[in-house]
Amino acid sequence: MKEAGYAVAVYPGDGTGPEVIREGEKILATLAEGGPAPWHLTTYPGGGQYYLASGREWEPEAEAAAAQADAILLGAVGWPGALLPNGDIAGRALVLGLRENLDLYANVRPCKLYPGVRHRISGAYHEVWSPRNVDMVIVRENTEGLYTPARGRLTRARETEVAVDTRLITRKGAERVIRYAFELARHRPRGAPEDGKKRLTCVDKSNVLEGCRFFRETFDRVARDYPEIERDYAYVDAFTQWLVRNPERYNVVVAPNMMGDIITDLAAVLQGGMGFASGGNIGDHHAMFEPVHGSAPKYAGKDQVNPFATFFAVEQMLRWLADRHHDSRLVRQADRLERAIASVLADGSARTYDQGGHLSTTAAGDRLAAAIRSEGAA
Ligand code: IPM
Ligand code: MN
């Protein structure tokens, strides 16, 4: 527990990032009402729009603050036309750069469907999956795999002849993320919705790829330390259909970087869409939390996007801080936040556009703030 309060560095970023982060800040302020705030936030500009205006992705003090903060909250980065000279998106420093520089090796994406949330499929709203059946966490390797910066082009006479990306799977990289996933499976209070079993599913393509064979071998080696966790295996292609058909089977899932990137967005459909999907980028010493929907430029400035992904990111951040600092106050705050979120979502009248409703981003934040107040003090 940290008496002075936790320092949270906040990077709203581009597009709708600042709109959802403003609601996240509102919720943190509401949770802290009536007592000394257990956290203090400092906000820094940065991203693609900032790059277009200043020629820099962010300022040196913004970067330094990320390394010094107790936790990081990120909105979203990316803006049309904002590219670095090498073709990368301007703002990558705030996402991929922090993953690399702070060694945030586990990308942790909870996927839980709350009562009252609908799925948008083919432009219509449905209740496809039962909330009882969707409650898993996907852990994605976040520092290597196909994201390894060993890539490039062979050009001759200024024409590209070949483009190459290199997929690296290392012993250290695979082992630590797999261990993280086993620990999570051990400590999560509930197992898979289907049968209550504590199960860890290793998703890979080890029937073809050498790196995946090594990933799976590493999984089996680490598994020996966790005899109480059921080992489960899925090739990534088959996994995509099982995930949709039978989500109740899954409890914790671990996957290499690019495969994890793809399956987590698919899984977001089960939880109501990207408007509900939050992610933690977690290392041994630092962590960054974000709504994973991106900057959504076409909705920017419209006060329309769903801020619940940000609320879940805030909840994830509080739980991570609580765990790391053995701070039961923050567990109570996170529980209170989750109860308030669940009560707002269960009340089907509070729907943003992605759920077929008309509630604005700001009004959704106000609804949640009111629900937190009626939960009473933590
Ligand atoms: C994610 C995103 C990022 C990724 C992008 C913004 C670089 O899609 O966090 O899943 O590819 O990892
Ligand atoms: Mn992604």
Q: Are residues 195 and 305 in the same domain?
A: no
Q: Which atom of ligand 1 is nearest to the CA of 99?
A: 12
Is this structure's pTM higher than 0.95? Answer: yes
The secondary element (H helix, E strand) that includes residue 203 is: strand 199-204
The DSSP symbol for 90 reads: T
Q: Cβ atoms within 10 A of the Cβ of 225, count? A: 11
Which residues constitute the domain of residue 205?
118-136+171-270
Q: In angstroms, rounded to a whole number, what is the distance separating the alpha carbons of residues 32 and 377?
A: 9
Q: Separation of 267 CA from ligand 2 center, angstroms?
A: 11
Quote the number of domains for the chain: 2
Q: Are residues 84 and 189 in the same domain?
A: no
Q: Are residues 220 and 105 in the same domain?
A: no
Tell which of 252, 270, 288 closes a domain. Answer: 270
Look up the CATH number of the domain holding residue 350. Answer: 3.40.718.10
Pocket-testing residue among 95, 107, 278, 316, ligand 1, by greatest number of atoms within 8 A of Cβ: 95
Q: What angle do CA 267, 8, 272 make, to 5 degrees?
A: 20
Is the residue at 163 inside a domain? no
Q: Are residues 223 and 205 in the same domain?
A: yes
Q: Are residues 131 and 189 in the same domain?
A: yes
Residues 6+ apart with CB under 8 A from 148: 166, 167, 168
Q: Are residues 231 and 328 in the same domain?
A: no
pLDDT by residue, tens only, the chain of 378 residues: 677 799 999 999 999 999 999 999 999 999 999 989 999 999 999 999 999 999 999 999 999 999 999 999 999 999 999 999 999 999 999 999 999 999 999 999 999 999 999 999 998 999 999 999 999 999 999 999 999 999 999 999 999 999 999 999 999 999 999 999 999 999 999 999 999 999 999 999 999 999 999 999 999 999 999 999 999 999 999 999 999 999 999 999 999 999 999 999 999 999 999 999 999 999 999 999 999 999 999 999 999 999 999 999 999 999 999 999 999 999 999 999 999 999 999 998 889 999 999 999 999 999 999 999 998 776
- Ligand 1 site, residue 96, Cβ cutoff 6 A: yes
Q: Are residues 185 and 311 in the same domain?
A: no
- Ligand 1 site, residue 292, Cβ cutoff 6 A: yes
The two tokens of residue 82 are 């904002």
